[in-house]
Structure 1
Amino acid sequence: MLTLFLQATTAQGNNPYMMPLMMGVMVVGFYFLMIRPQMRKQKQEKKFQEDLKVGSRVVLTSGLHGRIAQIQEDGIVIETLSGKLKFEKAAISREFTATRFGDKATADKKEVTETEKK
């Protein structure tokens, strides 16, 4: 890309189509390097917020740890040691159980509940 830019600046009189071509390359580069990854991140965040369930342990953006007590249309009620607090869905940073213990923790919980049933 740098070589194309250098060629465009050195050969200005030779090719009048080089500058619009360079502008097009820059726009496509911006799209693939900045806009597309941001859109992908927003989709993942929206999917995460839709997949939240009652009883999940979460960490909020403020650093507060708690368990989801209720999911409402306008927010989420988080149960902490000090009581129940209402927050926006966007305030949830990550699911604590999955990030700390991985998928093994959820698998262990399933095994424990199945053995208790027997």
Structure 2
Amino acid sequence: MYSLFLSLPPQADAPNPLMSLLPFLLIIVVFYFFMIRPQMKRQKELRKYREALKKGDKIITTGGIYGRVTEVKDSQIIMEIADDVKIRIDKSAVIMDMSDAVRK
């Protein structure tokens, strides 16, 4: 009688470890396609835009300054913000051109 209480319950089949990891893998895939990949694409487009800047382009800086490019150097831009008022900014401070800001 005592041996009945000490006996172990019958073992069920062990769950597949892949099935327990599947929800985490799906979450990672969803994050990649909906958050990481689009952000990388935007960064790539912005980098191409900054590299393609040329004299006469209208731009906006990260600080909200509107102006026109008068000279492009390696990592800097000379930008005219008013008549005979020029400032030197880093290329990384350029976020868009004014045609993007004016769209409705």
TM-score normalised by length of structure 1 = 0.65
Contiguous gaps of at least 5 residues in structure 1:
1-12, 102-118
- Structure 2 counterpart of 1:89, which letter? K
More helix by share: 1
Indicate the structure (1 or 2) with the bigger Cα radius of gyration: 2
Q: Distance in 2 between matches of 1:31 and 1:75?
A: 33
User: What count of residue pairs does the alignment treat as equivalent?
Assistant: 90
Is the partner of 2:60 in helix, strand or coil?
strand
Tell me the equivalent position of 2:71.
70
Identity of aligned residues (%): 34
- Structure 2 counterpart of 1:55, which letter? G
Q: Which moved more, 1:91-100 or 1:23-32?
A: 91-100
How do residues 1-118 of structure 1 correspond to structure 2 at under 5 angstroms? 15-81=16-82, 83-97=85-99, 99-100=101-102
TM-score normalised by length of structure 2 = 0.73
Contiguous gaps of at least 5 residues in structure 2:
1-13
Q: Work out whether residues 46 and 95 of structure 2, in 8 Å CA contact, stay in contact via their aligned partners in 1.
A: no
Is the partner of 2:75 in helix, strand or coil?
coil
Q: Work out whether residues 55 and 72 of structure 2, in 8 Å CA contact, stay in contact via their aligned partners in 1.
A: yes
More strand by share: 2
CA RMSD of aligned residues (A): 2.1
